[in-house]
Each structure stands twice: as C-alpha cells, then as structure tokens.
Structure 1
Amino acid sequence: MKNLGICVIVPTYNNSGTLQSVIDSCLEWTPFLVIVNDGSTDNTGHLLSFYADNEAVEVVGYSQNKGKGHALRVGFAYARSKGFRYAITIDADGQHFASDIPVFVKAIMDTPDALVIGSRDITAKNMPAGNTFANKFSNFWFKVQTCKSLPDTQTGYRLYPLKQMGTMWWVTSRYEAELEMLVFAAWHGIKLVPVSINVYYPPVGERVSHFRPGMDFFRISVLNTVLCVLAVLYGGPRMLISRIFFKK
C-alpha cells in the first residue's frame, strides 16, 4: 500500500461505539489512516485522543456536522496534500471488514487509476429491506444516467483515484454525494471496477444508522432528477466525445 500510494480514510459522525474497533482493524492493513471527524457530538473526540501519538493515524475534524460527502472531500484533499495517489474509504459503523482491503489493492494493481467499488451481498443476514430497495433504485438510475451497470452504487467501501477525482465538481455534501461521485466518475471516463466484499449488519436493536429514510430518499430523488438533466446536457455528450476522439 505504501509503494502504491494508498491511504485509508474513515469519515465518522457519532460512531463512538464502533469507531475504535474500525480504527484498530484498519491499522492491521494500512500504514496511514485518516479519520475525518464530521462534527461528532458523542464520545468520538475523547476516543480519538488515544491515537494522538500514533504516527499512522491523522485526525482531521471540525465542530459542525456537514455531511458524509463533505467529510470525504476533506479527507481527499488532505490525502492529496500528503502525496497519496489513492484513498480507500471505509465506514465507521462497523459494517465493513478491514480484511477486505487487499481486495481493493489487488484490483487497483490490475487496473491503475480506476475507481474500485465494493459490492455487498444484498442477501446478507440482517440487511435492512430499505437498504435493498434503495440500492436497486440507485442502481437503476445510475444505469440511466451513465449507460453503465454496477451491482452496488450505495456502498461506502471504495478506492478512489485522488488525482482524477480532484478534477470534478459536486453539488451535494451529504449521504447522496457518494452516488454523485460515481456518476461524475463515469462521465469523466474513469474505469469503474466492482469487487465483492463482506458486510455485517448488526441486529435491529444494536444497529446505529444516520440514514433518514424520508429525508435522504427525497434528497436522492432530487439528485437523480438533476443528474438525469445533466446526463443529457453534459454527461452524455462528454462520454460520446471521449468515445469518438479518445477511444474511452
């Protein structure tokens, strides 16, 4: 990972119950970990203070919650400033397994400068029905907007090519930003590579989620409407020109 210029970014908001185990498991696989504290109001700040002397951990934070999309952009900017070429993003709620990091590393070795997307098993035990529906809904509109198919457009476990992602602009800053990033990456000709990953969903009584079904689904619907318009005016023509003149 060091030779390839890969770091790991963990955006977190009020995940103090699972964050430490996520950090410790990631440190088994990565030489550099960036934690973006997105205005947490729980015990996250105190927990992160225990890593102050760990040279492998860098904490970037701010006092007001601004959303996962904003946290990712802050993490990307910091990673680029440190000279990293790629960033693996992993959620802080404990649903992802750090032991899958080598899957992303192998994929990027096979396809340099790609965007590698972790694909969950939608039949996984305890996976909320709402998540399954949201993923199918998102996958459908992603195909409409890009003419490309992906098995999981809602996962937060990904490997981003930092230089390529830095040339784009995004209009959202919260949960739905991850979908927007995929669409713009496809429009800009970045190779999208899905890889199978493991996933863990705790029982309902133990589950901590900041996904708000009503509001977030509304935001995603508005975003899809905007992206469909942009697909006609910008994304589609850009992909067509790239295919004709640059054979992408």
Structure 2
Amino acid sequence: MEQIAIIIPAYKPDKKCLDTVEKIIAAGFRQIIVVDDGNSEEFASTFTSLESHKEVTLLNHSVNRGKGRALKTAFEYILKNRPSCEAVITADADGQHLVTDILKVSEQMFKTPEKVVLGTRDFSQKNIPFRSRFGNRFTRLLFLLSTGTVLTDTQTGLRGIPVRYLPQLLKVIGERFEFEMNVLAALRENNIEVTEVSIETVYIDDNKSSHFNPLRDSYHIYKVFIFYGLSGVASFALDIGLYWLFIQLLRDPAPDLFIIFATVAARILSSLFNFYINRNKVFKQGSNKSLVRYFILAAFIMLASAGSVHFLYAEWLGRGEVILKVIVDTILFILGFVVQRAWVFRKE
C-alpha cells in the first residue's frame, strides 16, 4: 500500500470527502493526493481538515480547470516528487467509491502489475438513475464501435494505473470529464492491457452531488462522434443529391447499369469532401497513409453499396432505389466510423 498513491480530484467537496479520506488512511494507505480544483473560500475548512492528516498532500488550482486537468496535475506531481510510487488509484470525492472497493483494485494491481485495473459497476440494478444507466450503455456502445474493445463501465472513476504509464496518459487530450473516456481509448492505442474488478454501485441522493454537466460534458465526451455524424450527414446528403442527379442523367443512356454508374460518380465526389472534413475537423489526426487507406475504405464501401443496392433492386424490389440506398448506406456508415477511427486516421 505504501507504493500506491490515491488521487482524489475535489470540486465543491462536502463531509463525504473527508470521511472517505479518513477511511482510506485507516485502511493503510499512506500517500493520498487531493487536488483542490479551484474551490471558493466556502470549502476552505474542508481542505484544512484534509491537509491536517500527514498522509495527505494538497495540490491547488487557482480556478476550476476540470477533472481531467486535476488528474494530470496529480500525475505530474507524482512523477516529479514520488519516485518510490509504483501505481496510482484514482477515486472520486463524493463518497461513491467505497474503501473496500479501493482495496479490491489495489489487490488486483498486485496480481496484474502490468495492467490498468478498472472498478466496474453493475448498471442492471433497479436503483441506478436513468441518466447514469443510459449514459453508460451509450458510451459502451460508442467505445465498442470506435475501438473494438468491450468494457463493462466506461465512465468509472475508480481506476488503478501503473506509474510507468502516466507519461503516456499526460499526452491524452481533454481537461474535463472527457479525459477519462479519452484515456480508455489511449490505452487501446498504446497496447496497454486492461482488467476489470466488480465494485459496489453507490448513488447517493440520486447522484445529485455529481458535477457532471449533461450538456457541456456530454458534448466533450461525444464530440468526435457528433462531428463524425455531422460530417457523415453532410457527405451523405451530398452523395444522395449527386446520386439522384446522376440517376436522372443515366437512366435512359444506361438502363442496365445506371445504378452502379450513379453510385460510383456520387461516391467519388462526396468522398473527397468527407476525407477533408474527417481528417481536419473530426479526428484531427492521421498519417501519410491516411489518404490511401481512406480511398481503400471508400472503394470497399462504394462497391458494397452499389453491389448491394443493385442486387436487391434487381432481385427483390424493382423499384425504390433511393430508399434502398439509404438503408444500405446507413449500415455502411456505422462500419465506416469503426474503420476510420481504428485504421484510416490512426497515428503511426
């Protein structure tokens, strides 16, 4: 336990934070880093009480900078000042992470010292607030689509991290709640293994103490998906518009192949637009291989779209080619996100 530091970002903490820290000390932990994330004088007495414990180191932000920045501040402090520390465990200040669960995470870290340990909650219980249940399921799905990794709880704040990985995690973008989601993606990108331990699911007063802003913080967490969707919608509209135009131009000159010709022409033009937006506005990364990879993917999706629509139109329907294309391309749109995030715009 002396080799593990407990990190607690604290914004507007109440007595539950002090109780949690005292229980952590009683459990035998000797390195506790509390980050005062720009709290007002109203909370000064709480931090004075925390700092009175010799096991507690208090770090301060002059203004509120967000949970992600608070974690980074603690990571930087540990790398510079605690050379004997081998691992950190991040926990929340609102009393929803029990000391027994912190101990479970620490025990698992000793069993698997090369892995990041996530304390995962059971969201199937009836007492889980709807926004938490929905948010967890939605982010699990998006995380699975974007990384191919199945995790039980993508929003858990109880995490055990070997210190050797902190320099890599300090490079992860994000200053607020989105940092935690981005960390999980970074673990995958850096081939860092993850293991999970089951923890108690605790919600106090329907989670009213949470400082998660549903609009602002959800935007930051999901913005890559939001931008990808907007880019896709714009490109999709352009593609459908061009497809309709080419259908009108080619239906009579090429009655047997007009669907394939229209699909190919529309997809080439719309894909050029989509590549530029995704590379520069959505994923904001890539390599010198991204263009080639993008058009390999675009060619595959184009052929899959044209072939599927042509086959279904000729064999089954004989009408409604535009509606049919919308259905087929919606499925291919989801596939495109997965491949673009994981392969096309991957950093080398």
* Normalised TM-score (structure 2): 0.63
Shift of the alpha carbon at 1:126? 3.5
Per the alignment, residue 182 of structure 1 pairs with: 184
Q: State the number of aligned residues.
A: 234
Per the alignment, residue 193 of structure 1 pairs with: 195
On the 8 A contact 1:126/1:203 being kept in 2, the answer is no
CA 1:230 to 1:110, structure 2 compared with 1: closer, same or farther past 3 Å?
same
Shift of the alpha carbon at 1:112? 1.2
Shift of the alpha carbon at 1:186? 1.3
Per the alignment, residue 246 of structure 1 pairs with: none
1:116-155 alignment runs, 5 A limit: 116-124=117-125, 126-155=127-156
User: Distance between the aligned counterparts of 2:44 and 2:114, measured in 1?
Assistant: 34
User: Distance between the aligned counterparts of 1:70 and 1:59, measured in 2?
Assistant: 15
Whichever residue aligns with residue 62 of structure 1, its letter is: H
On the 8 A contact 1:14/1:42 being kept in 2, the answer is no
On the 8 A contact 1:125/1:201 being kept in 2, the answer is no
Unaligned regions of 5+ residues in structure 2, if any? 229-281, 284-336
Per the alignment, residue 243 of structure 1 pairs with: none
CA 1:216 to 1:125, structure 2 compared with 1: closer, same or farther past 3 Å?
same
Per the alignment, residue 172 of structure 1 pairs with: 174
Per the alignment, residue 56 of structure 2 pairs with: 57
**Larger deviation: 41-50 or 99-108?**
41-50
CA 1:52 to 1:181, structure 2 compared with 1: closer, same or farther past 3 Å?
same
On the 8 A contact 2:98/2:200 being kept in 1, the answer is yes
User: Distance between the aligned counterparts of 1:25 and 1:46, measured in 2?
Assistant: 19
On the 8 A contact 1:117/1:194 being kept in 2, the answer is yes
CA 1:63 to 1:126, structure 2 compared with 1: closer, same or farther past 3 Å?
farther
On the 8 A contact 2:37/2:65 being kept in 1, the answer is yes
Shift of the alpha carbon at 1:171? 1.9
* Bigger Cα Rg: 2
User: Distance between the aligned counterparts of 1:153 and 1:99, measured in 2?
Assistant: 21
SS at match of 1:189: coil
1:1-248 alignment runs, 5 A limit: 1-2=1-2, 5-29=3-27, 30-41=29-40, 43-81=42-80, 82-83=82-83, 84-124=85-125, 126-168=127-169, 169-204=171-206, 207-224=208-225, 225=228, 226=282, 230-233=341-344, 235=346
**Larger deviation: 48-57 or 25-34?**
48-57
Shift of the alpha carbon at 1:230? 4.8
Cα shift readout 1:124-159 (whole Å, capped 9, x = no counterpart): 453211111111111112122222111001010111
Cα shift readout 1:34-66 (whole Å, capped 9, x = no counterpart): 001111126332212124342211000111000
User: Distance between the aligned counterparts of 1:94 and 1:77, measured in 2?
Assistant: 25
Identity across the alignment (%): 29
User: Distance between the aligned counterparts of 2:125 and 2:41, measured in 1?
Assistant: 29
On the 8 A contact 1:165/1:185 being kept in 2, the answer is no
CA 1:214 to 1:166, structure 2 compared with 1: closer, same or farther past 3 Å?
same
- Give the CA RMSD over aligned residues: 2.0
Shift of the alpha carbon at 1:175? 0.7
Unaligned regions of 5+ residues in structure 1, if any? 239-248
User: Distance between the aligned counterparts of 1:10 and 1:59, measured in 2?
Assistant: 10
On the 8 A contact 1:11/1:37 being kept in 2, the answer is yes
On the 8 A contact 1:16/1:42 being kept in 2, the answer is no
* Normalised TM-score (structure 1): 0.86
Give the number of the structure with larger relative contact order, counting CA–CA contacts within 8 Å between residues 6 or more apart.
1
Whichever residue aligns with residue 342 of structure 2, its letter is: A
